[in-house]
Every structure is written in structure tokens, then in C-alpha cells.
């Protein structure tokens, strides 16, 4: 830890020196850091910048589309650091002036920030926080998402983009992209007997091997018709005991100490799996099977998944400084048994949907392995 803190202080010192005259000199230092990394490791390294402020991004008004039938629902607690949620709203309103942007948060939120959000053009939904947090705090997501869905429905929206208050989509035209995907890949007639109107779009998860863990679909972002997204969140609040971050960490470590199977571990710990399974049982089929085969059939027939880079999704959390790890494009722990790089990117979804990826019974072995194979760090 002493070495880590020393490196941080030295790095802060150098950046403070080079940016005193011109903040753009920081780019030179970043380039030199990447060059040094490549020399010492033999791997390639690059970096990427994202504007912290919506005003610094260029928006070409002549390229804007009228997407007024879509409501953007931003759910969760307001991120006050650098006014992250507020700047996200400002960006979306610049991309889509005619779009309703709804911030569904908590009734004890910072009043000044709420006023600023209203001034920026957001509709505000203030929810009472649930007394029981639920598995992985899933009840907070359920309550705030339902509040946002109702607001969108009342406003007459046809579609919803559900996002998190601590994430931001940087690329313009994401709504046109989503609508085009849904139009180009309608639900096949032979599976149309389900109660889903159109495909639901989700984003790739950060968990390695997600394609082989049944029903592990990231809950960060969903796009679909108002009714389909409402049905997706037609789920009762979870009754798991409340846990602080430290208590959850201890619980996870205790669980891993018993070395459960990978599938069992994520079924116990992942709220996103609970959400998807509940939806399938209520609106697709009651005969849900916990297999990769049925999982892939569901994803191919009812969903479209997109990559983080497709839409410029940013999450200032966890491994944001190491995107190769976050996106699972490069994992040191990967091997022929783990499939860590196989996640629901758009490319992988398309290859499945078009028949290039073909199911093999051996794929069921993945989630039946024990967790020690993953070398999880909690």
C-alpha cells in the first residue's frame, strides 16, 4: 500500500506541474505513460478522454432526429460529484431537445440539484426509498424504475430508454440506433405467441463468461416499448436481509469459501438474473430451464444486446481505468475452460442470431465448474 500511495503522490505532482501552464499538456504526459507501459510490458496501451461537461461537446443540430416518442428514464441516486447526473441530463437534452428526460430518484435528494435538473429540462419523480434493500440493493432499482416508467407512460411515450444515474451515454444518435435495431430484427413469428411486443435491448455485462451463465443479462440499461419495460420490472420487492457494503463483502467471501458452482453462485448473488427469470416466467414461458441452450434461445429470440463502445457508455466506477478488464476484451485469468471474453456484445449476439454461434452440450459444463476456477477477488 505504501508503494501505491507513493506512486499516486508522484503522479499527482507531475500532473500538477505540467497542467499549470496548459491543461492539454496532460495529454503529453498520458501519452508518455502509455509509451513507458508498452516498453516495460510488451503490451499495447492507449487512453481515452471523455468530457466532464455537456457544454464542451459539439452537437450538430442538422443531424438531430425527432425522437419525441421515446422517454429517457434515469433512475437512482443523484451523483453530485462533478454534477454527473445533471451534466448527463444536459447532454441528453442537447442530443434530443424534444425527448422527455425523466430523473427518478429519492425524496431526500439534494434540493438544489433537483432545482438544477428541472432547469435543465428534466421531469423529476421523487420516490420513497424502500425499507428493505433487497439482493444487491435491487429494490432501489425496482422502485425508482417503476416510478420513471409510470411518468413516461403518463406522458404518452411509446418507448423507454432506462439508464442509471451513475452512467452516461456519450455517443449521439443512440435512440435512432436502438429503434433501427428493433425494426431490423423483429420478433420471429413462430415465437410471437409470448406477451412481448418488440425486442428488448440490453447492454453487455461486465462479468466474464456471461454468455455461459444462464440468464445473466446486465440490468444497467434497457430499451423497449413502454409495456415491455413495464413487464420486465413487474417483480415483487426482494426480501433478502439488508446488508451494508462491508457486510455484503463478508457474505460473498463466506459464500465463496464453500466453493460453490459458478451457476449457483451467480443465481444466489446476481439481482439481474432474478429480474430476467421473473420476466420469462411471467411473460414468455412458465417452463423456464436453467440451461445455456434455453438461455441462448431467449437471448436470440427476444433480446438484442449492444456493446458499451457501440453507444459510448461510461460508468465512473470499479475498473473504469482499465477498460480491457471492464469490457472483458483482455483477461489474464482467461483460459480455454473459462470463456471470460465471451460476453453479450452486439457482435456475439448477431453471430448467435444469424446461426454462426451454434449451441453445443459441452457449454453446460461452464456454469457447473466451481468458483475457484474464476479466482474471484471480493
201-233: buried (b, 16+ CB within 10 Å) or exposed (e) per residue? bbbbbbbbbbbbbbbbbbbbbbbbbbbbbbbbb
The arithmetic mean of pLDDT across residues 86-106, rounded, is: 96
Distance (Å, whole) CA 341 – CA 362? 17
Q: Say how many C-beta atoms besides its own lie within 10 A of residue 156's C-beta.
A: 11
Residues 87 and 166 in one domain: yes
Residues 274 and 130 in one domain: yes
Distance (Å, whole) CA 302 – CA 186? 9
Asked whether residue 174 is assigned to any structural domain, the reply reads yes
Which cell goes with 321?
481505468
Q: What are phi and psi of 268, to 5 degrees?
A: -80, -35
Q: Is the pLDDT score of 329 beyond 70?
A: no
Asked whether residue 128 is assigned to any structural domain, the reply reads yes
* CATH code at position 124: 3.90.550
Q: Which residues are 100's β-sheet partners?
A: 71
The count of C-alpha atoms lying within 13 angstroms of the C-alpha of 235, restricted to the half-sphere facing its C-beta, is 27
The CA angle 142-145-151, to the nearest 5 degrees, is 140
Distance (Å, whole) CA 232 – CA 223? 11
Distance (Å, whole) CA 161 – CA 70? 7
Q: Is the pLDDT score of 319 beyond 80?
A: no
Distance (Å, whole) CA 41 – CA 43? 5
Residues 29 and 131 in one domain: no
Q: Is the pLDDT score of 171 beyond 70?
A: yes
At residue 1 the predicted structure's pLDDT band, cuts being 50, 70 and 90, is low
Q: Do β-strands 100-106 and 200-203 pair in parallel, antiparallel, or remain unpaired?
A: unpaired
Asked whether residue 3 is assigned to any structural domain, the reply reads yes
Distance (Å, whole) CA 115 – CA 123? 11
Q: Is the pLDDT score of 245 beyond 80?
A: yes
Residues 2 and 106 in one domain: no
Asked whether residue 337 is assigned to any structural domain, the reply reads yes
Dihedral of alpha carbons 302, 307, 312, 314, sign: positive
pLDDT of residue 5: 84
Q: What are phi and psi of 81, to 5 degrees?
A: -60, 120
> Is residue 147 within 8 Å of 130, Cβ to Cβ?
no
Residues 34 and 175 in one domain: no
What angle, 0 to 180 degrees and rounded to 10, lies between the N-to-C axes of helices 245-257 and 262-269?
160
Asked whether residue 161 is assigned to any structural domain, the reply reads yes
Name the residue range of residue 30's domain. 1-41
How many H-runs (helices) and E-runs (strands) does the chain carry? 14, 9
Q: Which residues are CB-contacts of 221 (< 8 A; sequence separation ≥ 6)?
A: 161, 162, 163, 164, 167, 201, 202, 203, 313
Which one, of 169, 66, 147, lies nearest residue 102 by Cα? 147
If 0-12 CB within 10 Å is exposed, 13-18 middle and 19+ buried, where does residue 277 land?
A: middle
Distance (Å, whole) CA 22 – CA 157? 46
Residues 234 and 304 in one domain: yes
Q: State the pTM of this model.
A: 0.92
Residues 15 and 138 in one domain: no
At residue 191 the predicted structure's pLDDT band, cuts being 50, 70 and 90, is low
Residues 35 and 124 in one domain: no
User: How many domains in the chain?
Assistant: 2
The arithmetic mean of pLDDT across residues 198-203, rounded, is: 98
144-156 pLDDT, tens digit each: 999 999 999 999 9
Residues 86 and 17 in one domain: no
Asked whether residue 92 is assigned to any structural domain, the reply reads yes
Q: Is the pLDDT score of 297 beyond 80?
A: yes
> Is residue 185 within 8 Å of 301, Cβ to Cβ?
no
At residue 376 the predicted structure's pLDDT band, cuts being 50, 70 and 90, is confident
> Is residue 314 within 8 Å of 321, Cβ to Cβ?
no
Residues 28 and 175 in one domain: no
Asked whether residue 238 is assigned to any structural domain, the reply reads yes
Residues 134 and 264 in one domain: yes
Greater confidence (195 vs 123) lies with: 123
Mean pLDDT of the chain: 92
Asked whether residue 144 is assigned to any structural domain, the reply reads yes
Q: What are phi and psi of 370, to 5 degrees?
A: -85, 155
Residues 158 and 16 in one domain: no
Amino acid at each position: 500500500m505504501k508503494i501505491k500511495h507513493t506512486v499516486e503522490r508522484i503522479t499527482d505532482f507531475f500532473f500538477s506541474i505540467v497542467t499549470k501552464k496548459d491543461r492539454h499538456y496532460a495529454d503529453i504526459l498520458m501519452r508518455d505513460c502509455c509509451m513507458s507501459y508498452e516498453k516495460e510490458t510488451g503490451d499495447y496501451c492507449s487512453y481515452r478522454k471523455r468530457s466532464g461537461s455537456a457544454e464542451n461537446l459539439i452537437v450538430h443540430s442538422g443531424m438531430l432526429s425527432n425522437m419525441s416518442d421515446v422517454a429517457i428514464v434515469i433512475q437512482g441516486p443523484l451523483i453530485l460529484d462533478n454534477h454527473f447526473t445533471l451534466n448527463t441530463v444536459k447532454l441528453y437534452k442537447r442530443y434530443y431537445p424534444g425527448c422527455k428526460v425523466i430523473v427518478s430518484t429519492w425524496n431526500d435528494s439534494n434540493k438544489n440539484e433537483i432545482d438544477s435538473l428541472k432547469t435543465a429540462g428534466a421531469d423529476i419523480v421523487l420516490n420513497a426509498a424502500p425499507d428493505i434493500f433487497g439482493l444487491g440493493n435491487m429494490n432501489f432499482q425496482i422502485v425508482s424504475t417503476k416510478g420513471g416508467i409510470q411518468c413516461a407512460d403518463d406522458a404518452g411515450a411509446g418507448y423507454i430508454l432506462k439508464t442509471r444515474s451513475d452512467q452516461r451515454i456519450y455517443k449521439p444518435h443512440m435512440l435512432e440506433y436502438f429503434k433501427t435495431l428493433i425494426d431490423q430484427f423483429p420478433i420471429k413469428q413462430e415465437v410471437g405467441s409470448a406477451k412481448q411486443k418488440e425486442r428488448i435491448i440490453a447492454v453487455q455485462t461486465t462479468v466474464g463468461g456471461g454468455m455461459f451463465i444462464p440468464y445473466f443479462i446486465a440490468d444497467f440499461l434497457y430499451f423497449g416499448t413502454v409495456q415491455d419495460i413495464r413487464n420486465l420490472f413487474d417483480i415483487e420487492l426482494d426480501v433478502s436481509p439488508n446488508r451494508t457494503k462491508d457486510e455484503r463483502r463478508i457474505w460473498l467471501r463466506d459464500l465463496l469459501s464453500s466453493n460453490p458452482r459458478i451457476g449457483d453462485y451467480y443465481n444466489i448473488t446476481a439481482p439481474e438474473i432474478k429480474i430476467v427469470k421473473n420476466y420469462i416466467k411471467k411473460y414468455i414461458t412458465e417452463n423456464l430451464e436453467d440451461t445455456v441452450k434455453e438461455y441462448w434461445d431467449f437471448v436470440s429470440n427476444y433480446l438484442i444486446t449492444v456493446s458499451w463502445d457501440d453507444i459510448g457508455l461510461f460508468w465512473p466506477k470499479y475498473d473504469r481505468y482499465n477498460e480491457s478488464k471492464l469490457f472483458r476484451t483482455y483477461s489474464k485469468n482467461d483460459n480455454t475452460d473459462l470463456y471470460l471474453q465471451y460476453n453479450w456484445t452486439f457482435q456475439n449476439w448477431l453471430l448467435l442470431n444469424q446461426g454462426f454461434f451454434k449451441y453445443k452440450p459441452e457449454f453446460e459444463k461452464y456454469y457447473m465448474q466451481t468458483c475457484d476456477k474464476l479466482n474471484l477477488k471480493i
